[in-house]
Amino acid sequence: MTDHGSVGIVETHYFTFAQPPGKLELECGETLGPITLAYETYGTLNADRSNAVLLLHALSGNAHAAGYHSSSDSKPGWWDALIGPGRAFDTNKYFIICSNVLGGCSGSTGPSSINPETGQPYALSFPIITIGDMVRAQRRLIDHLGIDKLLCVAGGSMGGMQGLEWVTRYPERVGSAMLIATTPRQGAQAIAFDAVGRHAIQADPNFRVGEYYDKEPPRTGLSIARMLAHITYLSDQSMRMKFGRTLRTTNAYRYDFTSEFSVETYLDYQGEQFVNRFDANSYLYITKAIDYFDITAASNSIDEAMTEVKSKTMILSYSSDWLYPPYQSEQMVYALMRKEGDVTYCNVQSDYGHDAFLLEVGVMSKLVSGFLEHAMHPDKVRTPYQPERMDSEADPGPPSVHTRSIYESHRVDYDMIVDLVDEESRVLDIGCGDGELLHKLMSQKRVDGMGLELSQGNVISCVRRGIPVVQADVDKGLTALPDNSYDYVILSMTLQVIRKPQLVLTEMLRVGRRCIVSIPNFGYWKVRAKVLAQGKAPVTRTLPYEWHMNPNRNYISINDFLEFCRTHNTAIENALYLTPRGATSTTKLWPNLLAEEAVFVLSSNEPPLLGETVEEA
């Protein structure tokens, strides 16, 4: 056991509560007690008990999230790569807790535990449990540890379901949450896979209606259930890359029914390993709890279910996850946005499928560490803005060939926008990039800011700055957001790259009371001169790319934009015509000719348009 950054040797602890007659009342109507929860902790709880992070495991997980139980252990805890000194869940900063769920088989009370009333294992006399029951048991553990409010709850898959229960059932007990590769309700497809797995276990002759603890367990049934479930954790891409159609031990078909393909023997191995560490009855109970999960069950909609959420929330999905596809995460994201919640969302690009939350260590480390840092220090983003080098994760876009590219130097339009935005207003920045403008607005104007951004690298950069950001394609519209939900909607130097500019501008005017748009001016005299003199696509400070690397789709002049506003009943409340030095008197005379860029403040009202009085050069 040599693992730099590991928490090292760890010990499992046990907490017992709900002694009769004070049994825990379950959602099924029965009671249970006494209850024991196995748990592990890593790091040190600080003096004011404000640094506690509760990790929530998935179906087949346990309390052993990190480190080793002995020096001879060859395999660390299930999320070890993210937990330890200097890692994402930094044990130098945070006190990490992980418990085995109620109904589990790794030290917590479950169907394999001894029923004190009979002296025999509960087996199927164990009461049906829910995700909510698991969380209520965890709350008793957190009370036992003397923690009034958790800094964060974090978990993937079933762990994300538990996280959702925490933030909706005990909103005052949770400061922040990471809901990863999860869903607000178990869907029909996922229920179907679980049901087939349970049937496989129950059809095994060794199942004996759950009474197998002193006999041979239903190994075949549990193995098949695990193999079936494991397929849902992978993706077509990952299976194609890892296995293809390769044969495991021969170069030719054997023409029999043994496992020949590499993917077959891999699944055989997964099943064999699983039956050595997991209880078949626990599998039945936990998958049933997952299938019952529906955060909207006690409400009329996901919006109503999310009404009580007070925590800063980060939701992560994975592009190739077909068990809980990204659209299910987006339902939660937009529900939180509609209630003006502090939400961040990233759809991580990965070929690993559902298991990506365990395997995409690099991306996860950056997102988790950045999110936790600002959950612990929420005012850090509001400290005076200091110009900084571009974040290593930020997406700089195509390489510019102009030595003074606007995207690699001081942004004059940002200065103007900061001056235009009112103090403490609600701001949505579309195409927010690495978050520089929002960072300025949050630190200088103390706005309640949120970004929309398509690039994963820029999303990560925003998270590390402490800026709420939602990964989204604005060309699909803003239909998930209600009218007038923001004081300002900003689109800075982005209109020229989007596919559906009219849709985006219309949606901005619906969602924002005011909109601020900055554009590069294709009518600028240097642009005209380069086209005339060279007969080639122009390269300037605001259009700094070679034609074959150019992301721009729309070549907009100031006159084009003024005409658009005239013909689409859009009021221009203010217009600033800029050079690299800012607004000048000469640019006001002939803006379409002399201004290199422009900033407009728009609304959907219909006063006289400034554009009607502008001299068009």
Catalytic residues: 157, 321, 354
Q: Which of 335, 253, 263, 341 is nearest to 299 (CA)?
A: 335
Count, residues in the chain: 617
* Burial letters 289-313, b for 16+ CB under 10 A, else e: bbbbbbbbeeeeebeebbeebebbb
Distance CA 340, CA 307 (A): 10
Which residues make Cβ contacts (< 8 Å) with residue 215, sequence separation at least 6?
206, 208
Residue 37: φ, ψ to 5°: -115, 125
- Amino acid letter, 9: I
Distance CA 59, CA 470 (A): 28
Q: What angle do CA 245, 246, 250 make, to 5 degrees?
A: 135
* Burial letters 157-169, b for 16+ CB under 10 A, else e: bbbbbbbbbbbbb
Task: Identify the three-state secondary structure at position 583.
Answer: strand
Residue 480: φ, ψ to 5°: -75, -10
Structure tokens at 491: 């689109």
Task: Identify the three-state secondary structure at position 591.
Answer: helix
Distance CA 325, CA 450 (A): 24
SS (H, E, C) 158-218: HHHHHHHHHHHHCHHHECEEEEECCCCECCHHHHHHHHHHHHHHHHCCCCHHHCCCCCCCC
Q: Which of 554, 321, 366 is nearest to 457 (CA)?
A: 366
Q: Please report, for residues 75, 345, 350, the alpha-carbon distance to residue 234 in angstroms, rounded to integers and kept in the order given.
A: 21, 22, 11
By CB atoms closer than 10 A (0-12, 13-18, 19+), residue 71 is exposed
Distance CA 161, CA 179 (A): 8
Distance CA 106, CA 98 (A): 12
CB 333 within 8 A of CB 390: no
Residue 17: which H helix or E strand, with range? Answer: strand 13-17
Distance CA 36, CA 115 (A): 12
Q: Which of 573, 560, 559, 558 is nearest to 509 (CA)?
A: 573
CB 122 within 8 A of CB 115: yes
